[in-house]
Amino acid sequence: MYGNGVSVSALFEHPLNEYKGVISGAAIVDYVHSDPKRGFYGGGRMTARGYLTPLELGLEGLSPDAPRWGEGYKKALREEANHRLTISSFVTQLPLETNRVDLDPDVKDDWGLPAMRITLSPHPDDVKNMEFFRQKSIEILEAAGAKKVWAPKVSESRGGAHNRGTCRMGNDPKTSVVDKYHKAHDVPNLYIVDGSSFVTGGRNHPTMTIEALAFRASEHIIRTAKEGTRQTKA
């Protein structure tokens, strides 16, 4: 699981001045929890962030119908700089048995070895979840007084920096790989401490949760080592 995301942007009449001070985002967490009334499983966090560097604005930050060359391009840069705000939503991604990493049967790398192949498709609830946050972002930006809003269509996740899954955490060895302390059920003294224990793609960046779980696993390893229990070589 990569983790799904949705972004909707808008232009406002007055300058936003988001480049001043510490760069951060204002988050809305009202929709983090799953609500059966929505008709799908999942939730997410919405974060308003608008600041782009001059290079980012010039290359990919202008509104979709803005000119990309000449005098019109220069005019759009002047008018849109410091007036854009984007709501980025980080939403649940559900695991699917068909999503996997394996070796490609045909493609070879530079050394003649089978290349890595990633197969991933969204769960139907993921698509509904992303569309919910897309529409909610449009509503919020319009209510805030935006003079122009653009919202790319929901699409499949094609990659990301926060890979999760494949070594599910759980109590039952038949349905999980590691226990609550990240110790492998089937391999003695092996601990797997990273994002692979996540059972869904989550509703936020996973780094802090992974760090917290790593601290807990470390404390468990130290505690059991002092008690004389055989430990991992990881």
Q: Is the pLDDT of residue 229 over 60?
A: no
Reported pTM: 0.84
Taking the C-alpha atoms of residue 5 and residue 26, their distance in angstroms, rounded to an integer, is 16
From 123, 162, 182, 220, the catalytic residue: 162
pLDDT tens column, 172-195: 999 999 999 999 999 988 999 999
In whole numbers, what is the pLDDT of the chain averaged over residues? 90
pLDDT of the residue at 232: 46
Assign 23 a pLDDT band (cuts: 50, 70, 90): low
E-strand ranges in the chain read 4-11, 26-28, 44-49, 84-91, 100-108, 114-119, 148-150
Q: Is the pLDDT of residue 150 over 90?
A: yes
Q: Is the pLDDT of residue 230 over 70?
A: no
pLDDT of the residue at 231: 47
pLDDT of the residue at 138: 97
Other beta carbons within 10 angstroms of residue 81's beta carbon come to: 16
Q: Is the pLDDT of residue 201 over 80?
A: yes
**Contact partners, residue 147, CB within 8 Å, separation at least 6:** 10, 11, 12, 13
pLDDT tens column, 82-138: 899 999 999 999 988 898 889 999 999 999 999 999 888 889 999 999 999 999 999
Domain ranges across the chain: 4-94+122-150, 161-234
Q: Is the pLDDT of residue 64 over 90?
A: yes
pLDDT of the residue at 9: 94
Assign 52 a pLDDT band (cuts: 50, 70, 90): confident
Assign 139 a pLDDT band (cuts: 50, 70, 90): very high
Residue 174, SS3? coil
Across the range 65-94, mean pLDDT stands at 93
Assign 18 a pLDDT band (cuts: 50, 70, 90): confident
Active site residue 205: no
The CA dihedral of 172, 175, 181, 187, to the nearest 10 degrees, is 90
Token digits of residue 95 = 């695991």
pLDDT of the residue at 50: 60
Q: Is the pLDDT of residue 222 over 50?
A: yes
pLDDT of the residue at 118: 87
The percent of residues above 90 in pLDDT, for the chain, comes to: 65
